[in-house]
Amino acid sequence: MPYDEGLAERLREIFMDRQGVVEKKMFGGLAFMLRGHMCCGIVNDTLMARVGPDQYEEALSRPCAREMDFTGRPLKGFIYVAPEGFESDADLHIWVSLCEGFNRTLPPK
């Protein structure tokens, strides 16, 4: 399954100053791993955001966000964001910041 290379480049620019970021193909797309944990990713042209269970409901209430139902069931703590939801760099930074915030709560691998 292909992923949006333009979005991948935008995410690479955001993560370029962070240490320990690894790109990994998963979920049929591309994931950005931080500290050994999935932080966010891309499936087709959709942003996959790991916001965690505490921010889940709030993140779902944001425009263009929906449950991540990759397996047919929603994955709590993970959401999909349609391209309109991260069209601006500022919006993309907000989503990545939410993901990084949750990532910091996880134990390092």
Q: What is the pLDDT of residues 16-42, one digit of tens each?
A: 998 889 999 987 899 999 999 999 999
Q: Chain-wide mean pLDDT for the chain?
A: 94
3-state secondary structure 21-84: EEEEEECCEEEEEECCEEEEEEEECEEEEECCCCCHHHHHCCCCEEECCCCCCCCCCEEEECHH
52-59, Cβ contacts within 8 angstroms, sequence gap of 24 or more: 52/77, 52/101, 52/102, 52/105, 53/77, 54/102, 55/98, 55/101, 55/102, 59/98
What's the pLDDT at 1? 59
Within 8 A by CB and 6+ apart from 38, the residues are: 24, 26, 31, 32, 50
CATH number of the domain at 5-103, out of 3.40.50.1820, 3.20.20.20, 3.90.1150.30, 1.10.3720.10?
3.90.1150.30
What's the pLDDT at 37? 95
What's the pLDDT at 74? 87
What's the pLDDT at 2? 82
What's the pLDDT at 28? 83
User: Which residues of the chain, if any, have pLDDT below 70?
Assistant: 1
Domain extents in the chain: 5-103
Within 8 A by CB and 6+ apart from 2, the residues are: 44
What's the pLDDT at 26? 87
